[in-house]
């Protein structure tokens, strides 16, 4: 029998599935549904191996659920707007639209090689006018529902390129292309009111039981609910200054007040104080990234103003502008209590401010307790705090709150870290914001019958600034309300908006409105969403918000888009460097004689650790090259084997070879099987082989349902070994075993499974055959192995009938020769018998 020819076979089965429409989404809604979705790709032009891992997992699940009788929706599309297309437009002088659609075509060809069970009739790209027209409609709905509003916000501004920069485009405070020092600039921009749902988004996390705990926790921290006190300081210039604190109990430990460099008061003071203005500029150079701000040295500028302590008007606290106070959180102003907050302490030490401990840990003396250089944030009793002395932290918080509320200068406040979602982007390759600015009427929505608002075809990318904004005619329109001269909003929506509702659009891509009510009611929520952990917060949180906003606008009845979430790990590879320290690609090296050399020479290669595949380190492998050599089933099997799906996997050449050998092994086992009775021959009995088969069916079924692909793979190896060892078993038993094996590998290696199914005499398709069922009586256990320990150390085992009486098990254990030897004549003090598990004799 010939070797399995993956290339021919895979093409043949892909064509056959296609011709028979095996993977079209069922339209009869009477059966239970399963919506399986992988995070759709950005069309960079090539699929990378991370996509292969992601889509393989989703495909296994989709095929598994389909054969279990579910109506499966398994679509694919393209997250097609974004920066790379603009960069290509600038660098290669191509139209971003052409570049994007060419990439989509190329990637689609590559994806098709994988044999994914996708319904391609539902494909769309977010840059299709048919899609973003509906997105613009949703934006107008949200505006009407008061979920979209305009406000000023900071951007990174490149003064040379005259363009807004993404954080990623700011390198060491300079524009990535121009090298100019980046400025911060205020622009009037659109926001979506995600904070209207802060509490709801937080509470609902508890209901997402099929989400990783880690992701829920990350979102919880991101939403960042904290309870505290907002109160007003009276300043020496007689103005009031609002601050927020979660530690009102430490108010008597205050030694300064600090405001953000972006605080209105700081702006006001800077108008008359050039040194302060310089200080502000210096702070802003740190950028907007939280990491940079937190890590930067704590810097402050003494405004000369003072704030009166709320409980003692004669106690004056200096007011600083400080770089670590964020305008975006709370009120943009704090009181500093150095003894009990590390940042405040660092600041106080630097500016030689007093450090008074007011929370004293158990057993410490209030008179001598000194925090040194580490703030004390633990529990304790209040001291040096007048009327608070002796209270606990919690009691102190309540007391201060009560007094300031009574005095009318403070109130209890629930503060969220979550900020509204800034969605305006000053970029041409995105969904245009369908709004018009009229000097008379203000902001006017584009009438719905004029949607979609499309970018013009003749954009120039060589100009400075946003091409949409500098285009000679596009933005000039007449106001839909008064007819006067007006201009379009030249910003586009954040691409996260595009990906916040695509899953809903997939349920009916022909819907006239954004969604079809009947389709979303049936298909949503997504039953299993699979993608990278890098989307743990933003994409997933925005999508959760977006569906709520769509509900408010009357489109859907549910709140949560993704009932099940799985975040898969990355694909890594060893890194290689030559003698000169330059990176080498895997195909440039040669492993031989126990060493690693530059291919075609004796130059030694330094092998580095396995890292996420990246172009710069050259440790990438191209999926299409692997498919070309081994076929799609091999790469799919690799992606599922050995490593748990949530963990990073390392691509190795040896592993790929091993998978390919396994493909051949199965093919041999099936195609060379002799003496098999015809399809449908009944089989009875409880031979070892039959028990192994049904045990494998049960285990693989459970593992696939739980997305434990690596364990399912191990079970299949075990079954394969059992079949190999049972060459002398009756034909009917071997047929049953081979059919089970073929069906179990079906979701993972679908082409090979079809070829085997065919070789076993079945009509196509195994992909459409019902999932095998394990027979309960064959899973029953006839004997159990019980471990026997003496003082917790293994001394022997017992083969015994399951559920044997405890006393009998104990007697049998004590009778073991190895046990009497270990006891050495001592009488057992105690014997613990765990039924069917273990006996532990304590001597």
Partner RNA sequence: GCCCGAGUGGUGGAAUGGUAGACGCACUGGACUCAAAAUCCAGCGUCCGAAAGGAUGUGUCGGUUCGAGUCCGACCUCGGGCACCA
> According to CB under 7 A, which residues from 474 to 513 bind RNA?
494-496, 499
Q: Which stretch binds RNA (CB under 7 A): 142-150, 242-250, 289-297, 681-689?
A: 289-297
Q: Is residue 823 a contact residue for RNA (CB under 7 A)?
A: no
Which residues in the 53-82 window bind RNA by CB under 7 A? 79, 81-82
Angle at 38 between CA 33 and CA 43, to 5 degrees: 135
Given a contact cutoff of 8 angstroms between Cβ atoms, the answer to whether 418 and 195 are in contact is yes
From candidates 15, 448, 458, 534, binder to RNA by CB under 7 A: 534
From candidates 535, 548, 573, 695, binder to RNA by CB under 7 A: 535
DSSP for residue 181: B
Q: Is residue 294 a contact residue for RNA (CB under 7 A)?
A: yes
From candidates 95, 288, 517, 671, binder to RNA by CB under 7 A: 288
From candidates 138, 147, 155, 605, binder to RNA by CB under 7 A: 155
DSSP string spanning 341-408? -HHHHHHHHHTT------EE-TT--TTT---TTS---S--EE-SSGGGTT-BHHHHHHHHHHHHHHTT
Which residues in the 657-696 window bind RNA by CB under 7 A? 657-658, 661-662, 664-665
Q: Is residue 701 a contact residue for RNA (CB under 7 A)?
A: no
From candidates 61, 104, 111, 153, binder to RNA by CB under 7 A: 153
Q: Is residue 156 a contact residue for RNA (CB under 7 A)?
A: yes
Report in angstroms the alpha-carbon separations of 639 from 51, 62, 166, 618, 656.
11, 16, 34, 20, 10
Q: Which stretch binds RNA (CB under 7 A): 310-318, 382-390, 547-555, 635-643?
A: 635-643
* Closest C-alpha to 243, from 227, 254, 259: 259
- Straight-line distance from the first to the last Cα atom of the chain, in angstroms, rounded to the nearest whole number: 62
Alpha helix stretches (DSSP H) within 623-687 = 623-630, 632-640, 653-671
Which residues in the 230-259 window bind RNA by CB under 7 A? none
Given a contact cutoff of 8 angstroms between Cβ atoms, the answer to whether 122 and 499 are in contact is no
Q: Which stretch binds RNA (CB under 7 A): 61-69, 241-249, 578-586, 642-650?
A: 642-650
Does the bond joining 452 to the residue before it have cis omega, within 30 degrees of 0?
Answer: yes
Which residue in the block uniquely carries the two structure tokens 């969904």? 431
From candidates 558, 787, 814, 823, binder to RNA by CB under 7 A: 787
Q: In this structure, what are the phi and psi dihedrals at residue 432, rounded to the nearest 5 degrees? A: -60, 140
Angle at 184 between CA 178 and CA 187, to 5 degrees: 110
What is the number of other CB atoms lying within 10 angstroms of the CB of residue 446?
A: 21
Which residues in the 201-230 window bind RNA by CB under 7 A? 213-214, 217-218, 221-222, 224
From candidates 56, 795, 813, 816, binder to RNA by CB under 7 A: 795
Give Cα 501 distance to the centre of its chain. 16
Q: Which stretch binds RNA (CB under 7 A): 23-31, 312-320, 673-681, 794-802?
A: 794-802
Give the shortest CB-793-to-RNA separation in angstroms.
6
Give Cα 432 distance to the centre of its chain. 27
Give the shortest CB-167-to-RNA separation in angstroms.
4
Given a contact cutoff of 8 angstroms between Cβ atoms, the answer to whether 428 and 466 are in contact is yes
Compare residues 194 and 235 and give the one whose CB is closer to RNA. Answer: 194
Compare residues 150 and 403 and give the one whose CB is closer to RNA. Answer: 150
Which residues in the 705-724 window bind RNA by CB under 7 A? 708, 710-711, 713-714, 717-718, 721, 724
From candidates 49, 192, 649, 696, binder to RNA by CB under 7 A: 649
Compare residues 448 and 653 and give the one whose CB is closer to RNA. Answer: 653
Given a contact cutoff of 8 angstroms between Cβ atoms, the answer to whether 315 and 356 are in contact is no
Site size for RNA (CB under 7 A): 98
Residues 6+ apart with CB under 8 A from 779: 691, 694, 695, 698
Q: Is residue 168 a contact residue for RNA (CB under 7 A)?
A: yes
- 12 by DSSP, 3-state: which? helix
Which residues in the 402-461 window bind RNA by CB under 7 A? 417-419, 421-422, 424-426
Residue 84 is inside which H or E element, if any? helix 83-92
Give the shortest CB-294-to-RNA separation in angstroms.
3
Compare residues 512 and 593 and give the one whose CB is closer to RNA. Answer: 593
Compare residues 782 and 830 and give the one whose CB is closer to RNA. Answer: 830
From candidates 578, 650, 702, 810, binder to RNA by CB under 7 A: 650
Compare residues 207 and 783 and give the one whose CB is closer to RNA. Answer: 783
């Amino acid at each position: 029998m010939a070797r399995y020819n993956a290339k021919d076979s895979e093409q043949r089965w892909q064509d056959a599935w296609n011709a028979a429409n095996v993977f079209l989404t069922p339209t009869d809604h009477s059966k239970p549904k399963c919506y399986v979705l992988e995070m759709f790709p950005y069309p960079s032009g090539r699929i990378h191996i991370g996509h292969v891992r992601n889509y393989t997992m989703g495909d296994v699940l989709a095929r598994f659920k389909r054969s279990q009788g579910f109506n499966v929706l398994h679509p694919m599309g393209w997250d097609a707007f974004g920066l790379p297309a603009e960069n290509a437009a600038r660098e290669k002088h191509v139209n971003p639209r052409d570049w994007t659609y060419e990439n989509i075509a190329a990637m689609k060809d590559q994806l098709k090689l994988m044999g994914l069970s996708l319904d391609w009739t539902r494909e769309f790209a977010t840059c299709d006018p048919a899609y973003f027209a509906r997105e613009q409609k949703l934006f107008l709905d949200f505006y009407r529902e008061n979920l979209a509003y305009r406000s000023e916000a900071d951007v990174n501004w490149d003064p040379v390129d005259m363009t807004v920069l993404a954080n990623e485009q700011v390198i060491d405070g300079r524009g990535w292309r121009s090298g100019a020092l980046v400025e911060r600039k205020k622009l009037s921009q659109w926001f979506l009111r995600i904070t209207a749902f802060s509490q709801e988004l937080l509470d609902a996390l508890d209901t997402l039981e099929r989400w990783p705990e880690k992701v829920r926790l990350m979102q919880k921290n991101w939403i960042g609910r904290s309870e505290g006190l907002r109160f007003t300081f009276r300043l020496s210039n007689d103005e009031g200054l609002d601050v927020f604190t979660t530690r009102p109990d430490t108010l008597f430990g205050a030694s300064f007040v600090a405001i953000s460099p972006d605080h209105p008061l700081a702006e006001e003071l800077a108008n008359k104080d050039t040194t302060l203005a310089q200080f502000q500029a210096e702070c802003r150079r740190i950028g907007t990234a939280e990491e940079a701000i937190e890590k930067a040295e704590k810097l402050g500028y003494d405004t000369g103003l003072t704030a009166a302590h709320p409980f003692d008007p004669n106690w004056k606290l200096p007011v600083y502008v400080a770089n670590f106070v964020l305008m975006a959180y709370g009120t943009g102003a704090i009181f500093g209590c150095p003894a009990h907050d590390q940042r405040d302490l660092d600041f106080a030490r630097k500016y030689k401010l007093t450090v008074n401990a007011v929370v004293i840990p158990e057993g410490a003396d209030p008179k001598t307790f000194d925090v040194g250089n580490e703030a004390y944030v633990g529990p304790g009793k209040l001291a040096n705090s007048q009327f608070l002395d002796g209270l606990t932290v919690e009691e102190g918080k309540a007391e201060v709150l009560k007094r300031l509320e009574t005095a009318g200068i403070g109130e209890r406040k629930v503060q969220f870290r979550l900020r509204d979602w800034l969605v305006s982007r000053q970029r041409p390759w995105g969904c245009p914001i369908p709004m018009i600015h009229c000097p008379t009427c203000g902001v006017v929505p584009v009438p719905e019958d004029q949607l979609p608002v499309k970018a013009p075809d003749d954009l120039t990318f060589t100009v400075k600034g946003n091409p949409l904004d500098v285009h000679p005619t596009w933005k000039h329109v007449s106001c839909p309300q008064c007819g006067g001269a007006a201009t379009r909003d030249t910003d586009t929506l954040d691409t996260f908006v595009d990906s916040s509702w695509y899953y809903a659009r997939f349920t009916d891509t022909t819907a006239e409105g954004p969604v079809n009510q009947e389709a979303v009611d049936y298909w949503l929520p997504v039953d299993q969403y699979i993608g990278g952990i890098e989307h743990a917060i933003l994409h997933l949180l925005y999508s959760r918000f977006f569906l709520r906003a769509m509900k408010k606008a009357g489109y859907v009845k549910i709140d949560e888009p993704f009932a099940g979430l799985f975040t898969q790990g990355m694909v890594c590879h060893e890194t290689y460097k030559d003698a000169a320290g330059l990176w080498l690609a895997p195909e440039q090296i040669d492993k031989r004689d126990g060493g690693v050399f530059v291919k075609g020479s004796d130059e030694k290669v330094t092998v580095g650790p396995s890292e996420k595949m990246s172009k710069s380190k050259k440790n990438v492998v191209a999926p299409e090259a692997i498919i070309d050599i081994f076929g799609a089933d091999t790469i799919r099997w690799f992606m599922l084997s050995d490593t748990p799906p949530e963990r990073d996997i390392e691509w190795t050449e040896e592993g790929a070879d091993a998978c390919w050998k396994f493909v051949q092994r199965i093919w041999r086992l099936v195609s060379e099987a002799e003496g098999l009775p015809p399809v449908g021959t009944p089989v009875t009995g409880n031979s070892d082989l039959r028990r192994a088969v049904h045990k494998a069916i049960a285990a693989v079924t459970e593992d696939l349902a739980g997305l434990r692909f690596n364990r399912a793979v191990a079970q299949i190896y075990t079954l394969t070994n059992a079949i190999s060892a049972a060459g002398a078993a009756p034909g009917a038993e071997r047929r049953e075993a081979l059919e089970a094996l073929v069906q179990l590998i079906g979701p993972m290696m679908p082409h090979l499974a079809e070829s085997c199914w065919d070789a076993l005499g079945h009509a196509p398709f195994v992909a459409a055959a019902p999932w095998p069922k394990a027979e309960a009586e064959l899973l029953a256990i006839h004997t159990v192995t019980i471990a026997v320990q003496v003082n917790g150390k293994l001394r022997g085992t017992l083969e015994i009938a399951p559920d044997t009486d405890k006393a009998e098990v104990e007697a049998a254990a004590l009778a073991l020769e190895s046990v009497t030897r270990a006891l050495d004549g001592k009488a057992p003090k105690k014997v613990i018998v765990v039924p069917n598990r273990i006996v532990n004799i304590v001597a």
